Amino acid sequence: MLSKKKVIDIMRKGPPDKIDSKVTVTAAAIIMRQSSRSTLIVVEGGKPIGIVTETDLVRRVIADNLVPAEINVREIMSTPLITIDSKSTVLDATKKIQKNGIRGLPVIDNDGIIGMITVTDIALAVARESEKDESLIKAVMRSSYANY
């Protein structure tokens, strides 16, 4: 059952890209484009202090007609950084995402941030589970009708 699976089982593995809080929004957008990522963890002195997302760029820079080259990511990042433990369930992650109106969570363990879990990861896991259920139902139906 997917709701009981652990976050670590379906998350995107590998640490998310990080960016210093003093970097400009323009530089952040370029890094996002080059890495094909929609989020960056904002750090100060090597410690995570927030997250900047494509949504932050749209809502806090573009929509306000600000100049991205004149603003650093610290000014537009989302904070506090909302995370989830790698041993938490997918259901816990889904509830936390919904409660906070966000699209993803940095996943942490004793070593710090080890990856991200996003609504896309959860949707893909649901689709995989549905395919398994559908295959099982078809197999049961075939075997049931084979006896008649």
Beta partners for residue 106, in sequence order: 116
Domain total for the chain? 1
Query: Would you say the pTM of this structure is higher than 0.85?
Result: no
In whole angstroms, give the CA distance from residue 52 to residue 102: 12
What is the span of the domain harbouring residue 38?
2-146
Is beta strand 112-118 parallel, antiparallel or unpaired with respect to 12-13? antiparallel
Query: pLDDT tens track of the chain, all 148 residues?
Result: 777 899 999 998 888 999 999 999 999 999 999 999 999 999 999 999 999 999 999 999 999 999 999 999 999 999 999 999 999 999 999 999 999 999 999 999 998 999 999 999 999 888 888 776 666 666 656 655 554 4
Two tokens, residue 79: 């904070």
Q: What is the DSSP string of 39-78?
A: EEEEEETTEEEEEEEHHHHIIIIITTT--GGG-BGGGT-B
Question: What's the CATH number where 64 sits?
Answer: 3.10.580.10
